[in-house]
Amino acid sequence: MTLPTLTIGNKNYSSWSMRPWLALRWADIRFEEQIIPLGPRGLGPNPDILAVSPTGTVPVLELASGERIWDSVSICEWAHEQAPEAKLWPEVSIARALARSAVAEMHSGFSALRKALPMNIKRVKRDHSISAETQVQIDRFDALLQSLITRFGGGQASWIFGHPTIVDAFFAPIATRVRTYNVKVSAPVEAWCQTVFSDSAFRAWEAAARKETWIITETDEA
C-alpha cells in the first residue's frame, strides 16, 4: 500500500510542520516523511517547496491518489476523518467548538509571540527579554489553555481535553518556546508543557530535531 507522504521543514524550526506530524502519529496513521530544509534563499518562495506545495509552504500531505493537502489545519482535519476513534477533536459538541476556536486562534493569531520567540528546539536562552506586545500574547495563551484545561482536562497535569487532540498539536510548538525562552506560565500550563514533553510522539520529533545539523542563523540569533 502506498502511504501518504508528509513534507515538512526542519524539525528544529518548523512549528507548522510539527502540528500535523503529531496529529498523524496520535491517530496512528502511517505516513512517509520528506524534509525540505528551511532558511533564507533570497527573494521569493523556496522552489523545492513550490514543487510539492502550491503555497510554497510546508507542511503538505500528498495522498496515495496524488491529491495534496497543503495546510496544517486541513491535514489535521483529514487525520481526524481517517481515524475518528482517536478523537483528535473532542466528542462533546461545546468542547469541540471551543477546541476549533482555539486552533483557529493559533492558526491566525499570536503573530508577535511567533515572531519574537521562534521555535528552536535545540536552543536554551534563559535571558531572553520579552516585549510588552509579546507578553500580552503569552498572557492570552496562558489564560486560554488554563481555561480549557480547568474545564475539560480535569485541571490535572495532562492533556487539554484529557487525551491528545488537535489543540495540543497546535499549541505544542508554544510549549517548546516556553522552555527555550524560559517563559513564565501558570502551574496548569507548565504541567501541560511537561505532558507534551513526555509524550512519545513529541519525543521522537524532538530527538530528530536535536540530530539535525541545518542552521538558520537569523532564528538562532533572535
Ligand X SMILES: N[C@@H](CCC(=O)N[C@@H](CS)C(=O)NCC(=O)O)C(=O)O
Residues contributing to the site for ligand X (CB under 6 A)? 9, 14-17, 38, 46, 49, 57-59, 71-72
Q: Which three cell numbers stand for residue 206?
A: 524532538
Query: Which DSSP letter does residue 91 get?
Result: S
Q: Taking the complex as a whole, how short is the minimal distance between the CB of residue 95 and ligand X, in angstroms?
A: 23
Q: Taking the complex as a whole, how short is the minimal distance between the CB of residue 90 and ligand X, in angstroms?
A: 21
Q: Taking the complex as a whole, how short is the minimal distance between the CB of residue 58 and ligand X, in angstroms?
A: 4
| Cβ pair 10, 216 in contact under 8 A | yes
Which residue's beta carbon is nearest to the bound ligand X? 57
User: What is the rounded distance in angstroms from the CA atom of residue 37 to the CA atom of residue 212?
Assistant: 10
What type of residue sits at position 53? Answer: S
Query: Which CB atom, from 15 or from 146, has the smaller least distance to ligand X?
Result: 15
Q: Taking the complex as a whole, how short is the minimal distance between the CB of residue 127 and ligand X, in angstroms?
A: 26
Q: Taking the complex as a whole, how short is the minimal distance between the CB of residue 24 and ligand X, in angstroms?
A: 14
User: What is the rounded distance in angstroms from the CA atom of residue 151 to the CA atom of residue 159?
Assistant: 12
ω into 47 cis (within 30 of 0) = no
| CA torsion through residues 92, 199, 72, 116, sign | positive
Phi, psi of 33 (to 5 degrees): -130, 150
